[in-house]
Amino acid sequence: MPTQQTSPPASSRTSRQGSVQRASRTDSVIASAGLAKTAAEHATAAERDRRLAPEVVRTMLDAGFARHFVPRRHGGDAGTFEAVVRAVATVGEGCTSAAWAASLTASLGRMAAYLPEAGQRRVWADGPDALIVGALMPLGRARREGNGWRISGTWPYVSVVDHADWALVCAMTAGERPVARFFAVPRGSWCTEDTWSSVGMRGTGSNTLHVEDVLVADELTFTREAIAAGVAGNAEAPCHRVPLKAVNGLCFAAPVLGAARAALAAWREGTAPRHTSVSGGLDSSAAEVLGRAAGETDLAALLLESTARVADTGRVTDLEVARSGRDCALAAELATAAVDRLFASAGTRAHQEASPLQRHWRDAHSAAGHVVLGFAPAAEAYARVLQHGT
What CATH number does the domain containing 144 carry? 2.40.110.10
How many separate domains does the chain show?
Answer: 3
In a domain, 205, yes or no: yes
Instruction: Bin 234: left if φ > 0, else alpha if -120 < ψ < 50, else beta.
Output: left
Residue 278 DSSP symbol: T
Note down the domain range covering 205: 132-223
Q: pTM of the prediction? A: 0.91
Same-domain pairing of 92 and 17? yes
Same-domain pairing of 359 and 340? yes
pLDDT at 34: 92
Same-domain pairing of 265 and 382? yes
End-of-domain residue from the set 177, 193, 223: 223
Same-domain pairing of 15 and 87? yes
In a domain, 143, yes or no: yes
CA distances from 135 to 4, 87, 159, 332 (A): 18, 23, 9, 22
pLDDT at 269: 83
- Shortest CA distance to 62 belongs to which of 161, 143, 129, 134? 129
| H or E element in which residue 362 lies | helix 356-368
Same-domain pairing of 246 and 384? yes
In a domain, 203, yes or no: yes
Q: Determine whether 251 is exposed, middle or buried from the number of CB atoms within 10 Å of its CB (0-12, 13-18, 19+).
A: buried
DSSP letter string over 150-170? EEEEEEEEETTGGG-SEEEEE
In a domain, 19, yes or no: yes
Could you read off the pLDDT tens digit of each residue along the chain, which spans 390 residues? 555 554 455 544 443 443 334 444 444 544 788 999 999 999 999 999 999 999 999 999 999 999 999 999 999 999 999 999 999 999 999 999 999 999 999 999 999 999 999 999 999 999 999 999 999 999 999 999 999 999 999 999 999 999 999 999 999 999 889 999 999 999 999 999 999 999 999 999 999 999 999 999 999 999 999 999 998 878 889 999 999 999 999 999 999 999 999 999 998 886 766 767 656 677 778 889 899 999 999 999 999 999 999 999 999 999 999 999 999 999 999 999 999 999 988 788 878 888 889 999 999 999 999 999 999 999 999 999 999 877
In a domain, 316, yes or no: yes
Residue 276 DSSP symbol: B
Same-domain pairing of 246 and 379? yes
Q: How far is it, in rounded angstroms, from Cα 146 to Cα 163?
A: 31
Same-domain pairing of 150 and 31? no
Same-domain pairing of 272 and 174? no
In a domain, 232, yes or no: no
End-of-domain residue from the set 173, 190, 223: 223
In a domain, 230, yes or no: no
End-of-domain residue from the set 190, 223, 256: 223
Q: Determine whether 99 is exposed, middle or buried from the number of CB atoms within 10 Å of its CB (0-12, 13-18, 19+).
A: buried
Same-domain pairing of 256 and 366? yes
Same-domain pairing of 189 and 254? no
In a domain, 109, yes or no: yes
Q: How many residues does the chain have?
A: 390
Same-domain pairing of 248 and 294? yes
Q: How far is it, in rounded angstroms, from Cα 302 to Cα 291?
A: 16
What CATH number does the domain containing 22 carry? 1.10.540.10
- 206-217 pLDDT, tens digit each: 999 999 999 999
- 60-103 pLDDT, tens digit each: 999 999 999 999 999 999 999 999 999 999 999 999 999 999 99
- 303-356 pLDDT, tens digit each: 999 999 999 999 999 999 999 999 999 999 999 999 999 998 878 887 888 888
CA distances from 285 to 248, 346, 358 (A): 37, 12, 21
pLDDT at 2: 58
Same-domain pairing of 258 and 355? yes
Q: Which residues pair with 171 in a beta bridge?
A: 140, 181
Quote the percentage of the chain above a pLDDT of 70: 90
User: Hey, which bits of 334-376 come out as E strands?
Assistant: none
